[in-house]
Amino acid sequence: MGSEENKDVLLAFLNRTFAESGEAPLTEIVLLNPYTDKDAPLDKQSIFDIWAKTIEGKLINIEMQLFNKYDIEKRTLFYWSKRYSSQLQEGQTYKELKKCVTINILNYSFIPNERYHNVFHLREDHTGLELSDDIEVHFMELTKLDDQAIPLEGGLINWLLFLKGADKSSWEVLKMNEPTLKKAMDTLEFLSQDREARRLYEERQKYLHDEASMIEWATENGERKKAIEIAKNMLSLGLDVGIVAKASGLSKAEIESLRPIQ
């Protein structure tokens, strides 16, 4: 979706996205950072961005994120504000500012509900009165999709199932529901047959697996340090080793080793 050749695919995806938030379909889109073959496979790491603009000047940022980098809500608002404020040139008035939309496609769960597509706006708490339409944030969580729940009609879910990596046995149905997906599927098939593209893909996959392992190790290491601190504090209060072990998750032998040497 990030290349000039597949701009029609991006447009179809955006129209399905905006249809779910009650907006009129787009007729044209301009890519502000088109992807090229010169882009290194590791440059994007676990995040891939697409920046685009409508003919009316509305700015759209699509971010695909494979791993939970944490603080996604603050990161989203930070980059949204930078994009929004960067529109004004010296001497221009605030009314020149155009709407900015951020679409986050996440390969992990973030919003504490069962909806795979959540849309946020700026509204008054009690009446729902909109303060401004200039901010719109979408969160699409692929992990909330049931792989077996192939829809019987067109809609955004077909796109998200494809992006999630639906089994090829489901592609025909997805393609019938959303004909524009055929081009995306053909492009993916072509890339998978190209030896150099496959090498770059495998290189990037290795990097992502390594990154996932590092994140897991850091998380587990941090949890163990926390457990040790809890155990030390409980021991200092004179609590029984068995109680400390149960509360911290450490073994009795590990807790005994934490006792200060007399």
Q: What is the pLDDT along the chain (262 residues), one digit of tens a residue?
A: 777 888 888 898 999 999 888 888 888 888 887 765 544 444 444 556 889 999 889 999 999 888 887 789 999 999 999 999 999 988 889 999 999 999 999 999 999 999 999 999 999 999 999 999 999 999 999 999 986 678 888 899 999 998 888 888 888 899 899 998 988 888 777 766 666 666 676 676 667 666 666 666 655 667 778 888 888 888 887 888 888 887 788 888 888 887 766 5
Task: Please report whether residue 163 resides in a domain.
Answer: no
> Are 185 and 172 contacting, i.e. CB atoms less than 8 angstroms apart?
no
Prediction pTM value: 0.70
Task: Please report whether residue 32 resides in a domain.
Answer: yes
Task: Please report whether residue 106 resides in a domain.
Answer: yes
Compute the Cα dihedral for 145, 147, 153, 158 and give only its sign: positive
Which of 126, 144, 162 is the last residue in one of the domains?
Answer: 144
Which of 119, 144, 169 is the last residue in one of the domains?
Answer: 144
Are β-strands 100-106 and 117-123 bridged in parallel, bridged antiparallel, or unpaired?
unpaired
Which of 144, 161, 181 is the last residue in one of the domains?
Answer: 144
Edge-to-edge strand list for the sheet holding 47-54: 29-31, 47-54, 59-65, 100-106, 130-141, 117-123
Domain identity same for 137 and 10? yes
Pair of tokens at residue 93: 């008035």
Domain identity same for 14 and 126? yes
Domain identity same for 43 and 128? yes
Domain identity same for 9 and 124? yes
Helices within 97-194 (DSSP H only):
156-164, 171-177, 181-193
Task: Please report whether residue 158 resides in a domain.
Answer: no
Pair of tokens at residue 112: 């504490």
φ, ψ for residue 60 (rounded to 5)?
-130, 130
With b meaning 16 or more CB within 10 Å and e meaning fewer, what string describes 26-62?
Answer: beebebeebbeeeeebeeeebebebbbebeeebbbbb
Task: Please report whether residue 110 resides in a domain.
Answer: yes
Which structural domain range is residue 228 located in? 212-258
Determine the Cα–Cα distance for residues 72 and 74; give it in Å rounded to an integer.
6
**How many distinct structural domains can be found in the chain?**
2
Domain identity same for 105 and 25? yes
Determine the Cα–Cα distance for residues 249 and 227; give it in Å rounded to an integer.
7
Task: Please report whether residue 181 resides in a domain.
Answer: no
